[in-house]
Structure 1
Amino acid sequence: MSYTVSSKGPVPGPFPPATHGFLYFHPDAHNPLQSQIRFRVTQDHDPTRSFSSGHDLTYGSGFTWHIPLTRAAQSPKLREMLVRDGLIDDALVAQLQARPLSRLEFYRLKRSVSVLDQPFIFDLTNRTLSLVVRVAGQVRRYHTDGPLRYYLGKDKYLVHEAGSALCRLERSTLPQHAGRRIVVMRLLKILQPPKRCSDLPRMCNVSVPAEGELFAFGQRAWYRDVDKPGKGNEILRLLYDAPDDGEQASGQSS
């Protein structure tokens, strides 16, 4: 068990100083396969007294440190403890063991969502928005043109050459989208300061929004209509129609 310290892949490292507390099971009621083991940081070693006042261990990006249940089930000892304590049953164990666990899935955890408003890390230099969507018992890959490209006639320009941010998709409440099922994208936190490309046309009006604001092309919000035809919108529809967890899921690697 280790604390991943690299944003490029699973590089083990030491836990932060004075990290002490308790491992606990965090179930996903809507998708049990996406349940997690998290670490609760507490002031002392009495869980009945300090657990509720503690906080989940996080990475610097704000994501919650966790062991995915899919990985925990690969450990006979952890699997035995989870079954013994009634946290998972034999039927779920069978599903976990039947599901192939690829290394690619681990690398993509920072761009994986199972509810619509789940935060993910977006590389501001990417031409596309690419996510792994785990919902309704399915694992799908969602790709669409990113919100940070500038179009001038037939030419397309990448706006930034550096930068990353914590973002989320969400249901639009904008007046112009009333009566339609529209998804927009909000920037939550800048992780690496953005750096604009030097060869952009002077009239380029695409930029990184302020923290808490929506991505937009000029004055028009970047959006996707989930009811339009197409494979990408079909995947967004699954997220749009999925029940919310009641909390913003943040169990991702940084």
Structure 2
Amino acid sequence: MALPLFSPRRFLPCSKTISRWPSTRFYSVRAEKGAETHRRYPGPPGHTISTLNPPFIAPDDYVDLSQRKQIQLRFPKSQGNARAELIYGRCSNIPQPFPPRSAGFFYYHRDPDAAPLEGSIRFRVTSDNAPSSFNRGHDLLLPSGLPWQIILPQVACGKSYGRLRDQLLEENLVTAKQLLQCRDIFREIKRIFPRVVLFRMNQEFPVEFTGQIALAVVGKVLHRPHWSSLFRQGTSFPITGSGVARFEPSTDPEYAGRRVVHLRITKIVNPVSITEETTLLKPEAGQLLVRPSHSRIEPWAYDIDASNSVAATALRALWDNSRIP
């Protein structure tokens, strides 16, 4: 059964049979002699950029996204009208415009210590079109403060990202094996939300203090853990607001020799307030999440080897992907 990754709307399907993915490489339109040449899919030509590899960007790769609801990217070897369609985000399924002063360069990002299937298309906001401004710029952000990005599983599975797949392969930024692995792992997912997909420890994700944490963890398979009671007391959620958090290995001497994980609130996005009497403490930016335990308040701690629950299995995958000693 196909499962939506936290949304029943607009799907990005992945085939269950993994043999090849849609490509634009050999697409062409042939016209009879004397016939008028035309494109099969008429529409705006899109913006052509030459590369997704930062060392090779050129002034002509500079793109101004400000206030645009959609950008259609083309590359020099695009065939016919093949292009990738990108948006900033959706609210109630309506495309939202890119923020003002969003001009710069698209590029492929991969951390030096990235997990095997970790990587993403990002947008570096710069002061001008000089390639030298790339390193002085900053990544385009979402309202949560997390980076705007199209993660590799989206690129591998997304119907509208065929041209991005081709370009990443042409520039040797990804491998065919990585794309096939992504399609295999996400074959039952209809829509992928990068903000809740984790590959390793210390990756940030958004949290709502009035609900549960539900994530997708990429290991050898896809794990779907959720924590329903971290911000709950009894049957209610007495704390409102939202933030950004991350799982991290414990350095507490109390847990020496054990694989124990804490949750750190790295940022408060919407102001926190307490709406009813509670023993819970307000989450604070930069601090570990604390919970009442045996008549005292202490950091929430999860021993990932103590059980075979979905949550423990997912956290073990994050730990292993992080190559923690």
Spell out, residue by residue over 1:13-57, the C-alpha distance to the aligned partner (whole angstroms, 9 max, x if none). 22112211111111366444332111111111121x111111111
Counterpart of 1:224? 302
Matched, 1:213 2:213: no
Counterpart of 1:153? none
Equivalent-residue separation in structure 2 for 1:63 and 1:169 (angstroms): 15
The equivalent position to 2:122 in structure 1, one of 38, 62, 67, is: 38
Equivalent-residue separation in structure 2 for 1:129 and 1:186 (angstroms): 13
Matched, 1:67 2:146: no
Quickly say closer, same or farther: Cα 1:10–1:86, change in 2 above 3 A.
farther
**Conserved? CA contact 2:262–2:299, under 8 Å:** yes
The structure whose Rg is larger is: 2
The equivalent position to 1:158 in structure 2, one of 233, 236, 243, is: 236
Task: Please provide the CA RMSD for this pair.
Answer: 2.5
Matched, 1:139 2:222: yes
Equivalent positions of 1:52-201 (< 5 A) are: 52-73=135-156, 74=159, 75-96=161-182, 98=184, 99-100=186-187, 102-106=189-193, 109-126=194-211, 128-135=212-219, 137-150=220-233, 156-160=234-238, 162-198=240-276, 200=277
Give the CA deviation at 1:161: 5.6
**What amino acid does structure 1 have at the position aligned with 2:290?**
A
- Structure 1, 219-228 or 231-240: larger mean CA deviation: 231-240
Counterpart of 1:252? none
Quickly say closer, same or farther: Cα 1:183–1:67, change in 2 above 3 A.
same
**What amino acid does structure 1 have at the position aligned with 2:119?**
S
Give the CA deviation at 1:223: 1.2
SS at match of 1:190: strand
Which structure has more strand as a fraction of its residues?
1
**Conserved? CA contact 2:273–2:282, under 8 Å:** no
Spell out, residue by residue over 1:162-199, the C-alpha distance to the aligned partner (whole angstroms, 9 max, x if none). 3211111111122333332211111111112233333x
Equivalent-residue separation in structure 2 for 1:171 and 1:23 (angstroms): 33
**Conserved? CA contact 2:218–2:317, under 8 Å:** no
| Structure 1, unpaired ranges of 5+ | 151-155, 246-254
| Structure 2, unpaired ranges of 5+ | 1-85
**Conserved? CA contact 1:226–1:234, under 8 Å:** yes
Using the size of structure 2 for normalisation, the TM-score is 0.63
